[in-house]
Structure 1
Amino acid sequence: MKRTTDPQEIDFKSKFDLQDKVIIITGACGLIGRAFCEAAAQFGAHIVVADIEKANPTEFADSLTKRHNRTMLGVTVDVVDKSSVQQLLDITLKTFSKVNGLVNSHQNKTNSFFEKFEDYTEDNWDAVVETNLKGTFLSCQVIGTWMANHKGGKIVNIPSTYSVVAPNQNLYKGTNMGCPAAYSASKGGVDALSRYLASYWANKNIQVNMITPHGVWNKHEENFEENFSQFSPMERMSYNHEVASALIYLLSDASSYVTGDNMLVEGGWTVW
């Protein structure tokens, strides 16, 4: 890092450049994951599109390769299986010989995700917590450890507004939606784990940060959108590209002195 007090010596624009950086993104084929991939690719990164087989990460990676004329890689991964995460790292290193960043944007919404708390089954709880929390732990352990042993890197995890505040149950009135306790608990764990790792790896040149999105529009039912607008200071839901913009800052050298931070991209939801 350049030791100077003269800002004229700094090329601030270049600080956001991700040219030739290798970024692994889990849950890459999801609503936010796709925006993450496109944003990082536009800033010059090689993207490792990591997701479950059903999501077809190879097809999405191929489309990124064609669009950006740069090598991208699609890898099938099961984030709750350590050997699968290790294979993801091995394939990435075989292709690119390095990893500069890890983005954990995977999550699990089971078929019974919105069950009432009183009726929530152990299997349902375990599936949500395993993917959201254990999956983040394993990918940080395997891939983060490699970066810590090879000059550092960036990790960005995705907790939730409901790891910051409790859900307002009025938001879901008249809708088929809700926020299960398993989701809040698992995402709260992601927040705590991220802060732990930020301290644990600070002397290894690893910056561990978070992005907390909220109300990302995905053709929601009309009642939910109307309810949301009443509780949000900005009176609207967000879009996935608005979340992705924050990722560039946290993956780039622009955030070289930022770690353990939770960047809230939630339209002011938590200020009330």
Structure 2
Amino acid sequence: MSAVRRAAVLGSPIAHSLSPVLHRAAYEELGLSGWTYDRFDIDEAALPGFVAELGPDWAGLSLTMPLKRAVIPLLDEISDTAASVEAVNTVVFGDDGRVRGDNTDIPGMLAALHERGVEHVERASVLGAGATASSALAALARICTGEVTAYVRSAARAEEMRGWGERLGVTVRTASWEDAAEGLDAPLVIATTPAGSTDALAAAVPERPGTLFDVLYEPWPTTLATAWATHGGGVVGGLDLLVHQAVLQVEQMTGSAPAPLAAMRKAGEAALAAR
């Protein structure tokens, strides 16, 4: 298959993105010799003009911050999954001329957890309250049968997380970030905070921890993830999430399924090791 098709990841900043590595590895494994995947530093102001100038050779876009919400008005339709969190990370240009948006972060989270044997949990803790935290709640809506406790730094963030919980059908209790150590005894802990934010919690890892899903992939392993693994707990990392959401993007953009998960993960691991 050698038809020339283009795809790219957009965001700002974007130089750190591993998406080109993952998607190009998929194209090579699938024999899509005419496909290219690039990165463009695009902010919210530049996004409409960029999208308007794309030609018929474009198959799709991956979007990172700060574009996941800004792109929605530019689309013909979005999936229910994307609508549930008002965030699109995948744009596909259809043969019918329609531009469709989806969110592969949420099913990517679920796939990463399922891969490590986490199918259902009775309760969970979420560390942080940003955009990734809302995606975490959407994923938990499908696997958590009980309460989710969100540990946040402000009353405004607490209100926001409770609002997402109501919208997504999740019972969310909020607590102060200062009490986050108490949440580490949950069967599933999802850390959605920036690098270094959870380092101080490493000393509070319980003797028999459940599963930690730390969405960071660089630096890796995080201090918390290292302590978690030392105590025998299961650890799911940011590269797991990145690869699984990219698999779904490749399948949607190319129409080739299944995408080569193993080859994409191997390429991502090699790229991180080389940094």
TM norm structure 1: 0.41
| TM-score normalised by length of structure 2 | 0.40
- Structure in which a larger fraction of residues adopt strand: 2
